[in-house]
Structure 1
Amino acid sequence: MNKTHFNNMKTKDGFIAALDQSGGSTPNALAGYGVMEDAYSNEDEMFDLVHQMRTRIMTSPAFNADQIVGAILFEQTMDRKVEGKYTADYLSGKGIVPFLKVDKGLADKENGVQLMKPIHDLDETLRRANERGIFGTKMRSVIHEANEESIKAVVDQQFDIAKSIIEAGLVPIIEPEVDINSPEKEKCEDILNDEILKHLNELSDDQFVMLKLTIPNKPNLYKELIEHPNVVRVVALSGGYSREEANEKLKDNDGLIASFSRALVSDLNVNQTDEEFNNALQKAVNSIHDASVNKN
């Protein structure tokens, strides 16, 4: 484990930029940036274009370690280069901690949740992540209904895989997202909080995780998770909220910082001049940073 990255992740003010859209979500990410599907004719061209978008973001002066403490990458991004360096090395050189999305997407909804699909090549992915200078990983499940057994299954799966990631010398970000549109969102969050605490209390002193959670309906619901000795950091996903709404909700939760994706890049466009692009990104970064460090 990179001790500098660990200390920065544990102590620095700022937020995590989620730049890990992949597979089926890539066309939507490009469309949001103003690059329509007629701009590419195959998957390789699509991923070239999304890497150009991410490179423009990461090389912008607005993307800096004063406000951004970490960034989550897609596997292809990890294997590509930015200004002649592998992406994680480029980020580390800027003082930003690199993470890698390792899940293979969601299984079909069953009993109110979506578990992760099997990650058959996890060991190989973790080996390559270590070679590429990655500090930690991220994996996502989704909870739609307040089914106790199903939520337990989500958390069990997350922590089971997390232990393999810890053994590989990396820090896992566990992301059991609660759907913001669930009519039982608050009840889901109560159950999830209890299940996560059970698993945290079973970890040994040298096993560390991070958590990426939907901003809860009840402010400071996750206070005990944030303060747990085995938790490096608890971060919040935007989950479909607008940036303004996500920021306001985040401000009500002490110690919770952002890890936003769409809410970070929603005002960026391929046709902007560099000045327009950098100004739009800086405005987003400023607002998300402010919500992460300045609480109500």
Structure 2
Amino acid sequence: MNTEQFNKMKSGKGFIAALDQSGGSTPKALQFYGVNDDAYANLEAMFDLVHEMRARIMTSPVFTGDRILGTILFGMTMDREIGGKGAAEYLWEEKGIVPFLKVDKGLVAEADGARVMNPMPDLAEVLDEAKDHGVFGTKMRSVIKLANETGVRAVVDQQFEVGRQILDAGLVPIIEPEIDIFSPEKAGAEVLLKAALLDALGQLGPDQQVLLKLTLPEVDGFLDELVEHPNVLRVFALSGGYTREEANGRLARNHGVAASFSRALTEGLTIQQSQAEFDAALDASIASIYEASIT
């Protein structure tokens, strides 16, 4: 494990930029960027366009390790070049930003008010490739829809089962059991999730630490026990569909929690902007998320 990267993630000021839109979420991300689905004929062309968007963000002079701790990459991004280097290598060597890799393969159908992850039969090979590129950690997402203890426990059990495999491989997992912000039982689901997370964390070894990426809670300070837990390297929050203003407001009221935003980060960026306009909009976005992350 890279000690410099570990120390940055543990105590550095800033947030994680989530640039890991998958095949399912890429069309919407491109639409927000000003690229309609009639602009590409197939998946290959779609991924080319989203890579151009990501590269434009990562190569911007305002996108640096001064305010951004890490960036989560989609697998196809890690396999491509940015600035003449592999994307992960570029982030760390040129920007001082810790690279992460999205490793999940999407979600199964909802059961017991939750959606667990699809199997990952090639995970060991993916982790080996990630290490070859200098990746520090991974990210995997599940979704909780209802305050159903069976569903919540299934999500957390699976996250930690895979998380231990990632730890054994020498990488640090971001555990992401997202609660749908539109859930009619959001507050109740948060109570169940925190209890399940505390149980799972208690089963880790004293030298095993994970990162958590959680939905911004209904009660300010609700995540404090997790922020202070010895097996938690850091707690991050997803924007989950909240506007950047709403996400930043909630984040600033939860001290010790930093952002790991995707849509809220890229809000207001369009392909039609000049480079100066794009950089100014990105700078304003980064500045606001950074300020909310260091409370």
Give the match's secondary structure for 1:7: helix
**C-alpha displacement of 1:206:** 1.8
Matched, 1:240 2:224: no
Give the corresponding residue for 2:151.
150
Question: Matched residues in 1 for 2:190 and 2:61: separation?
Answer: 37
Give the match's secondary structure for 1:30: helix
TM-score by length of 2: 0.98
Give the corresponding residue for 2:41.
41
Question: Matched residues in 2 for 1:68 and 1:108: separation?
Answer: 34
Question: Matched residues in 1 for 2:177 and 2:119: separation?
Answer: 16
Question: Matched residues in 2 for 1:51 and 1:240: separation?
Answer: 22
Please provide the CA RMSD for this pair: 0.8
Structure 2, gaps ≥5 residues long = none
Q: Percent identity?
A: 58
Question: Matched residues in 2 for 1:277 and 1:208: separation?
Answer: 37
AA at the equivalent of 1:151: V
Question: Matched residues in 1 for 2:75 and 2:68: separation?
Answer: 20
Give the corresponding residue for 2:288.
287
**C-alpha displacement of 1:266:** 1.3
**C-alpha displacement of 1:87:** 0.5
Question: Matched residues in 1 for 2:3 and 2:177: separation?
Answer: 26
Deviations 1:47-99 (A, max 9, x none): 11111100000011111111111000000000001111001111002110100
Deviations 1:128-163 (A, max 9, x none): 111111100000001111111111111000000000
Structure 1, gaps ≥5 residues long = none
Question: Matched residues in 2 for 1:262 and 1:128: separation?
Answer: 27
Question: Matched residues in 2 for 1:288 and 1:122: separation?
Answer: 32
Give the match's secondary structure for 1:23: coil
AA at the equivalent of 1:110: A
Give the corresponding residue for 1:114.
115
Give the corresponding residue for 1:105.
106
The 5 A counterparts of 1:34-183 are 34-93=34-93, 94-183=95-184
TM-score by length of 1: 0.98
**C-alpha displacement of 1:2:** 1.1
Counting matched residue pairs gives: 294
Give the corresponding residue for 1:226.
227
AA at the equivalent of 1:192: L
Deviations 1:91-112 (A, max 9, x none): 0021101000000011111110
Question: Matched residues in 1 for 2:186 and 2:39: separation?
Answer: 39
Deviations 1:219-257 (A, max 9, x none): 111111111111111000001100000000011111000
The 5 A counterparts of 1:199-214 are 199-214=200-215
Give the corresponding residue for 2:192.
191
Give the match's secondary structure for 2:196: helix
AA at the equivalent of 1:253: N
